[in-house]
Amino acid sequence: MKKTIVLLLLVGAAAFAVLPQAQAWPNGRLTNTKNTTTQTIGYCIVTTNNYTNWVYTDTKNTGHSFPAQSQVVTARSTNPKFNCSAYNDVVDVQVWSSDGKGYYLTTMNGSFGTVTITAYLEPKYQILTLLADAPGNMSSNCFTNSTFYGTTDSVSNSFTNTTSVTFSQSQSLFGVIGDNTSETISFSLGYGTTDSFTTTFTNAQGVCNDSTHNPLDHSQDMFWIWLNPMVTLTQTGASAVSYAVSPPPSQSVYAVRVSAAGLQNPSSIDVHLLEPMTYNGVTYPGLSNICAHPLPPSQCTQANACGCVPQDFAAIVALDPLLSLPVNSTETPDQIDSKRYFVLNPPPSPLLILEGPTTQGGNEYPVTFSVTDQNQSAHTGTETIGTSIGFTYGYNVTTSAAPVDFTVGFSVTNTLSYSHSTSLTKFTGSSHNMSVTLGTSTFGCDEGVEVYEDYLYHAFVLVPSSTPPTACDSN
């Protein structure tokens, strides 16, 4: 019988003779302490070998200890007619080094072990989604509470072409904190392919972009920005690495909603979004953490935007090419980027209509539509958009460097390169679904609305089907 124990807490160990172990990755030395006891049970002589004091000594001769005890039990019989094999046992362990530096021990057959080495990178941010503005001052563009597969990202471009990069699927769901409040949204970073992962939203009815005025204005497009992502890189060979994405240990995802207009003019962003936030005793970074010269919270004001300037958010703003369109433009998104935006075909049924009150000063009646790409025509065109993001080395690492023997380097110094791939990818036959509400309090503001799909975020973009009436030019 063989057991594997995953240890998270320090256990006691006794010191005996030190034995060399199998070669650890990549060039360090792995040792342990062997303690042997023997007892007689009936006709059986049972020998127990306990292996403790596991230590990985890196190539700079620094030791990293593991709170681990593995075990090998063997038995021999003093009576040829009696079988003692029932006492035979092996207990293996899997455990992180107690110094939190990213060394992970896995024992094999109790007495031998290998060490894998992990670096924790904390990028400044990750874009979870982008929701376009909707025409009509009572309109909204929202995710539904069904599973929604968003953007597909990869960090493989951060490494040289000779490095093999794979994605390790994240199994957990994380609650999202937003705008200083706890939200009911959760998501996972699953459905990974060879080197990329797809952000998957569930129970996401809280993810909306509520319009505040009649004219379609893409400066009001809404970004959801994750401010505490952690990328875990595990070296698995001389030129091979696997990675996973999650928040740091003991933290939830902290994501904030901010309009494109706010990113273009940081002094218009609420100060509480720019400053760090404390939630359940944990302090999370604010938007100012992205900025090159952030001010301490004691110096933050609305006017100085905590030290942030438009250039600090330029890479994020660049992910929304529709910002080049004038207000209430009827130019279609595919005219801006024919690889990223496609008209929904067939169109929604019933057709989307924005209607105001039937009389001056009358009551408004917003209408909610369900929009899906379930029957969307296939498109083979794809596009990859790159974003380079600064990072720091992550949790419990007291130095500003990766573990000593983490030897897979980055092709771009001091940045992590995310690539975002556009495609109409459907998982297990599912589609992308959103809830669109169209409404206005303005008499005479009536117009048809066409739907396009953003193949980067798999969200829908609403466009007037013709030049809007003059009444729609006012708020």
| CB distance 175 to 247 below 8 Å | no
Cβ pair 467, 403 in contact under 8 A:
no
Torsion of CA 178, 180, 184, 187, to 10 degrees: 30
In this structure, the chain runs to a length of 475
The 10 Å Cβ neighbour count of residue 218 is: 21
Q: Which of 327, 325, 295 is nearest to 309 (CA)?
A: 295
> In angstroms, rounded to a whole number, what is the distance separating the alpha carbons of residues 201 and 199?
7
- Of 372, 353, 367, 386, whose CA–CA distance to 464 is shortest? 353
User: What is the rounded distance in angstroms from the CA atom of residue 286 to the CA atom of residue 272?
Assistant: 8
Mean pLDDT of 279-285: 87
- Pick from 5, 80, 84: which is nearest to 47 by CA? 84
pLDDT in tens, 116-160: 888 888 899 999 899 999 999 999 998 877 778 888 888 888 888
List pLDDT tens digits, range 394-406. 755 544 567 888 8
The answer to whether 43 and 84 have CB atoms below 8 angstroms apart is: yes
pLDDT average, residue stretch 4-16: 33
Q: Are 177 and 279 in contact (CB under 8 A)?
A: yes
Residues forming beta bridges with residue 258, ordered by sequence position: 223
Q: Distance (Å, rounded) from C-alpha 54 to C-alpha 56?
A: 7
Report the pLDDT averaged over residues 227-248. 87
- Can you give the pLDDT at residue 18? 37
Nearest in space to 45 (alpha carbons), one of 92, 71, 82, 16: 82
The letter for the amino acid at 65 is S
pLDDT the model gives residue 426: 62
pTM: 0.83
Q: Which of 115-129, 222-236, 307-321, 375-389 has the lowest mean pLDDT?
A: 375-389
Q: Per-residue pLDDT averaged across 464-472, rounded?
A: 90
pLDDT above 80 (res 271): yes
Q: What is the mean pLDDT of residues 428-445?
A: 86
Report the range of poorest mean pLDDT among 11-15, 442-446, 449-453.
Answer: 11-15
The pLDDT value recorded for residue 402 is 74
Q: Is the pLDDT of residue 174 over 50?
A: yes
- Contact (Cβ atoms closer than 8 angstroms) between residue 458 and residue 432: yes
| 52-77 mean pLDDT | 94
Average pLDDT over residues 229-245: 87
Q: If DSSP codes are grouped into helix, strand and coil, which group holds residue 229?
A: coil
Is residue 93 within 8 Å of residue 5, measured between CB atoms?
yes
Average pLDDT over residues 415-419: 86
Mean pLDDT confidence for 312-330: 92
**Mean pLDDT (whole number) for 417-427:** 79
pLDDT(10) > 50? no
pLDDT value of position 151:
85
Nearest partner of 54 among 26, 27, 24, judged by Cα: 24
